[in-house]
Amino acid sequence: MTSSPARVLTEDELDVLELVLGGAIPRLPFAEGPVTLTDTENTPLAEVGADGSVSPVKPIATALGPQWDERLRAPARDVRADVAPGTTAVWVSEVPTTEDAAATARAATRGDVLLLVPASRHTAPGTVGAAGLTRAALALAAEVPGAPRVVVVPYPRGSTTPASSALAPARPDPEAATPGAAPTPSDIATAYGAERLFVPADDRSPEARAALAALPDAHARAVSALYPAAAAREVERAAAAGHGQGTVVFFTGLSGSGKSTVARALAAELDDDGMGATLLDGDAVRHHLSKGLGFDRESRETNVERIGYVASLVAKHGGIAVAAPIAPFAAGRAKVRALAEEAGARFLLVHISTPLEVCEARDRKGLYAKARAGEIPDFTGISSPYETPTDADLVIDTSEVSVEDAVKQVRAAV
């Protein structure tokens, strides 16, 4: 690590960093060195030199889901070196229709086929997210006859511009992209080794386009056909306003225990299931909701109470809030529970009980070493106490339980 200034990356910027480190694009369009790039947990990920060169420091955090499977999400340089000449890239940014599958098979006339899935970190309500798109692409791969090989590659979406041309030639040189501009689908296709780019959505028939456009209003049309106009309005109003009981899932544990990793994976899986979870991670919240607070006991309690208040508002309106601060003190956790219950929400306290020595060995940020050297005062587990919960609804030790199994346990307990 150097003493260069730090820059906290947004989620889109994290994707762009992954593209640069994987050899998909030549330079970062948003950072001039020297600077240290970190995620919202202040974990140093890369160093940018004065010449713009980027050197990795720590791996970028991943989550659950097929879009994060390292066997699929390979660096561009590795995919490019492995594919055959004449490879066609197919842009799978929407769930392929039956017509799309047939068009893809027609387009794959020579060479390998890359099914490129732009994997966004968030799923908009009512849409199929990166995990679903990746599963759909894996199914599509089995429906492309004749190609020597069909490879599904979810790639970090970042701020890629929309694809708009079918069977377009990929850009002949990955370095030819405009510096600082968002990479186009053609840029990405070339970076991963393709010579042609096919966008199935551009090849759809007018009938398919009309049927897809009509889908969002299918429920309203069915209601209108079943009820008189006034009654239909009441049914639609009730459907729009209805929601179930909200939930607050509140993780607590030492730094490095794995609570943020499990919380992110839980939120991503809930998003993928269309349940729209709101993630309130401890470090990320401090950048916004609790900016300016210190780390003395009073400031920590204030930070936890603010997180609990926002979580209760989300849950009050039927949403799911997933929070993951350290929350070292029993009194603060009790306040959060009370806020959730006052809002009429379910509350689940999850203690990530990973032992201190394991947390310290995992330390990606070097905080424990600094705390033991006296450079960080009031550090939980070293110079400040952690009050082990006696009222936890679920206790998970991530040194013994995988992230996937931890998420399953939490979902079963909610």
DSSP secondary structure string, 98-140? HHHHHHHHHH--SS-EEEEEEE-SS--TTS--HHHHHHHHHHH
Q: Examine residue 234 and state whether it is found in any structural domain, yes or no.
A: no
Total structural domains in the chain? 3
Q: How far is residue 229's CA from residue 223's CA, in Å, rounded to a whole number? A: 9
Domain check: are 201 and 113 in the same one? Answer: yes
Q: Examine residue 1 and state whether it is found in any structural domain, yes or no.
A: no
Rounded to 5 degrees, φ, ψ at 237 are -65, -45
pLDDT at 92 over 80: yes
Domain check: are 251 and 392 in the same one? Answer: yes
**Numbered residues of the known binding site for ATP:** 253-260
Place of tokens 């080794």: 193
Region 23-35: mean pLDDT is 88
Domain check: are 40 and 112 in the same one? Answer: no
Given this model, what pLDDT does residue 161 score? 53
Domain check: are 74 and 95 in the same one? Answer: yes
396 close to 262: Cβ distance less than 8 angstroms? yes
Q: Which of 205, 233, 256 is where one domain is finished?
A: 205
pLDDT at 170 over 70: no
Best CA proximity match to 129, nearest among 138, 116, 139, 120 = 120
Q: Tell me the per-residue pLDDT of 257-269, one tens digit each, with 9 for 90 and over.
A: 999 999 999 998 8
135 close to 142: Cβ distance less than 8 angstroms? no
pLDDT at 174 over 60: no
Q: Would the pTM of this model clear 0.75, i.e. be above it?
A: yes
Given this model, what pLDDT does residue 176 score? 46
**Numbered residues of the known binding site:** 253-260
Q: How far is residue 246's CA from residue 186's CA, in Å, rounded to a whole number? A: 43
Q: In 170-258, where does DSSP find H-type helix?
A: 185-191, 206-214, 218-226, 229-241
Highest mean predicted confidence (pLDDT) among 118-127, 215-224, 349-358: 349-358
Q: Examine residue 233 and state whether it is found in any structural domain, yes or no.
A: no
Domain check: are 90 and 18 in the same one? Answer: no
Region 232-250: mean pLDDT is 83
Rounded to 5 degrees, φ, ψ at 279 are -95, 125
Q: How far is residue 360's CA from residue 355's CA, in Å, rounded to a whole number? A: 9
Place of tokens 């919240």: 285
Place of tokens 């470090």: 283
Mean pLDDT score of the chain: 88
107 close to 87: Cβ distance less than 8 angstroms? no
The range of the structural domain enclosing residue 91 comes to: 66-205
